Chain A
Amino acid sequence: MTSILTNLFDGVAYGMLLFVLACGLAVTLGLMNFVNLAHGAFAMAGGYVCMVLVNRMGWPFFAALPLAFVSSAAIGIVLERTLYRHLYARSHLDQVLFTIGLTFMSVAAVDYIQGSSRVFINLPAALQGQFDVFGVGIGRYRLMIIAICGLLTIGLQMVLAKTRFGSRLRAAVDDPRAASGLGINVPQVFAFTFAFGCGLAGLGGALSAEILGLDPYFPLKFMIYFLIVVTVGGSSSITGPFLASLLLGIGDVAGKYYVPKMGPFVIYTMMIVILIWRPNGLFGRTAAR
């Protein structure tokens, strides 16, 4: 019984992490209809920035996390302004090719700069180990992830639903032409959202070094997971991807624990079945643009 609860807890932490990593992609791919396979590269960038700051420069972990966000967001906005925006109107094939190219470049570049082995971020002592709550093992680090990601999720939902920027974004996504006719600067809204999504990915990358492992192949290894979150979750709100990440996280952890030999098999089968059953995602809109 307790092992089930521990697994559930780990699964939730894993799922939350996936959500932070992938929710930027939910906006670019789900809302802006841009197939960005290079999303993991931004996460990797954040992770490596955090690693360098903490391990080499002795920054405290919690001070390095915002920097991971900022650096990924900065890379994101530069690339968006210089490269990505030319491709919004192009075919999906072009977008796929372009972002695969970016991914390959990022993998080789990080390999060149930091070496190909897995890196670890030195965690403060307060985050290590676990404690028991009624016999259920709770990892401190995972608890922190749940707390941070939970707050982020609530914050995102509030921003999208309540603020002026949120309504601009929703308008720009629903009908870019009408939105720009109403005086909304659509490219600016998209650029800002893209950068914010990249920043979140960077934050997720920094947080995930401990759990998912951080090495130069991160963008390729986890690409499919991000895509699953978005396609399965649909793009009508951030609730869809959120639930999809939780489902994926819990499913993956449980799958690895109970049927270790079948490993990723469970996840891929689930994804294919869901996509066949509902091509627009579990919580998607009926008509994809």
Chain B
Amino acid sequence: MSASSDAGYHARRQARWHYGEAGFWLIVLACGFVFPTRYLIMTDILRLALFAMSLDLILGYAGIVSLGHAAFFGVGAYAAGLLALHGIINEPVLALVVAGLAAMVLGFATSFLVIRGVDLTRLMVTLGIALLLEALAERFSNVTGGTDGLQGIEMQPIFGEIPFDMFGKTGFFYSLAVLFLLFLFARRVVHSPFGLSLRAIKNNPLRAAAIGIPVNRRLIAIYTLAAFYAGIAGALFTQTTAIASLDVFAFERSADLMLVLVIGGTGYLYGGLVGAVLFRMLQELFSTITPQYWQFWIGLVLVVIVLVGRQRLHRWMLYVPNLVIRQIAGRKAVVAVPESDA
């Protein structure tokens, strides 16, 4: 087998759906029926998962370290809030897409700033953009509601048929549907030649450019797409909680997001989903132990993760699932160790 067809074979093999993946989504769907009293927290996890998936697209696949991903989340959140509050677009799904597009436009505009320079400059520029937007939202408090946030948002029924209920059941299934659709799309993207070229750029931008990959254009494209995803996550936040306040732009949100993705692992899309579940569970655990100081333990988790080494940690975490899969399916484990990143 020649080298090129070999690479193609492996790429196609990786892109194929596995039983494990279908099982994962079935479990997620089943959660909606098994825990009918926990819709709010589960919706929260789905939202976070979508947001983390968005960061995974740029961090795990393109190697862009961003400290200001909350910027797009915030734009999506405020866009959805304003659309609903002023009754411009009443239909939630349409409003969701429009809010996502708003974040996407911002993502496209700022991507030119982000692709310039090295890691450090990127960190600063992304952080700066998020802080800038926060300052802007505070400045134009007549539009954004300032520190009180947008209040009195009332969501219309989805497609004019399915109303949001107070238990969050609609919100949960709505978020799940959005997450799944966007996941399918992201999965298609990262396994396409486009996605493969992103990995090449991440591993070595110079070499990628040398084999004819238009590095900057690819980075702009994926950054814009990730901004769209983050915007959708933000819009979901507003639509399911009916509030949008200044803290959507907060640095802590971007930092927590990093933690979510690091817990779950980068570069295989499920990292954000797994990480979101683990992160919320950790957060619940810590806030029951020390209600006011849970941040300390979150910080400790971050420090320990880095000191132990993310690679090693994921090998340990995946040891059991892989063992089970090997026993049941009797073949090589399918749950992959995430690639090294950034």
- Residue numbers of A with Cβ under 8 A of B are 29, 35, 83, 86-87, 90-94, 96-98, 100-109, 111-112, 220, 223-224, 227-228, 231, 261-265, 268-269, 271-272, 275-276, 279, 288
Contacts and interface: CB of A to CB of B under 8 A. Distances in A.
B49 interface: no
The 3 A-B residue pairs with the shortest CB-CB distance, nearest first, are A101-B302, A104-B299, A108-B296
Q: Is the interface of B mostly helix, strand, loop or mixed?
A: helix
B7 interface: no
Q: Is the interface of A mostly helix, strand, loop or mixed?
A: helix
A97 B302 contact: yes
A280 to B, nearest CB: 8
Nearest to B124: A231
B301 interface: yes
Contacts of B255: 100, 104
B106 to A, nearest CB: 14
21 contacts: A35-B123, A86-B307, A91-B342, A92-B65, A96-B123, A98-B302, A100-B258, A101-B303, A103-B299, A105-B299, A112-B292, A228-B124, A268-B135, A272-B125, A272-B129, A275-B121, A275-B124, A275-B125, A275-B128, A276-B116, A288-B118
A96 B132 contact: no
Given A98-B302, A100-B299, A279 B131 contact: no
B143 interface: no
Interface residues of B, number: 45
B136 interface: yes
A97 B135 contact: no
Contact of B306 (A87, A108, A228, A231): A87
B160 interface: no
B256 to A, nearest CB: 9
Contacts, number: 131
A251 to B, nearest CB: 14
Interface string B291-326: 011111011111101110010000000000000000
Contact of B120 (A29, A86, A224, A228): A29
Given A93-B59, A264-B135, A83 B251 contact: no
A93 B342 contact: yes
Nearest to A276: B113
B125 to A, nearest CB: 6
A108 to B, nearest CB: 3
Contacts of A111: 292-293
Contact of B113 (A101, A108, A272): A272
